[in-house]
Amino acid sequence: MDRQPITREGYDKKLAEIEALDLQLEECTERIKEAREEGDLKENTEYHGQRERQGQIQARMNQVKGVLANCYIVDKADMPKGVVTFGATVTVKNLDDGLDERYEFVGPGEEDYMTDPMKILTNSPIAQSLLNKKVGDEVEVEVPSGKMRLKVTEIQDHV
């Protein structure tokens, strides 16, 4: 897996999630201990429920740690201007339907598909096709619904 850029804020957000999960794991471990003290584990639903919850918390923690292990912190202010890069907000015209779309390229955990601009991962097909492009460049992107033809119309400075 390729290493992905992430902002300091995104990285700190993921670290905070790991810390919160760690607290939940400690609480869960304590509840398992208490449930064990009740005796027969075969019919102890509290014990089995907490063991399942412990596994889910540990799995999520491992997932978040895996994401962070494959990231490197980038200061958006250090990115080049005038080209589409991590942290840039780009406006494109969809050449198939004539609509304008705005994207900001972000790292793992920072994506948000309901905002304007839409925050998409730098490893998404759209972002990958637009990276290092300049105003006026056109690209064709293979997406699940087919092919999109996009033209870069504006690149905003990194915020």
What confidence tens digit (pLDDT) does each residue in 1-55 have? Answer: 578 899 888 899 999 999 999 999 999 999 888 888 877 777 778 888 889 999 9
pLDDT of 159 > 70? The answer is no
**Structure confidence at residue 145 (pLDDT):** 85
- DSSP element (H, E) containing 48: helix 45-69
Q: Cα–Cα–Cα angle for 12, 133, 151, nearest 5°?
A: 110
| Residue 94 in tokens | 């969809």
| Reported confidence tier of residue 153, pLDDT bands at 50, 70, 90 | very high
pLDDT score of 158: 63
Rounded distance between C-alpha atoms, residue 76 and residue 54, angstroms: 37
Q: Give the span between the Cα atoms of 53 and 35, in whole angstroms.
A: 14
Which carries the bigger pLDDT value, residue 129 or residue 78?
129
Q: Is the peptide bond before 117 cis (omega within 30 degrees of 0)?
A: yes
Residues composing the chain: 159
| pLDDT mean over 56-71 | 94
The pLDDT assigned to 26 comes to 95
- Domains, the chain, in order of start with CATH, read 4-73 (1.10.287.180), 76-156 (3.10.50.30)
- What tokens were used for 105? 């390229």
**pLDDT tens digits, one per residue of 80-109:** 888 999 989 999 999 989 999 999 999 888
Gap between the Cα atoms of 77 and 79, Å rounded: 6
Please tell me which residue, 1 or 153, carries the higher pLDDT value.
153
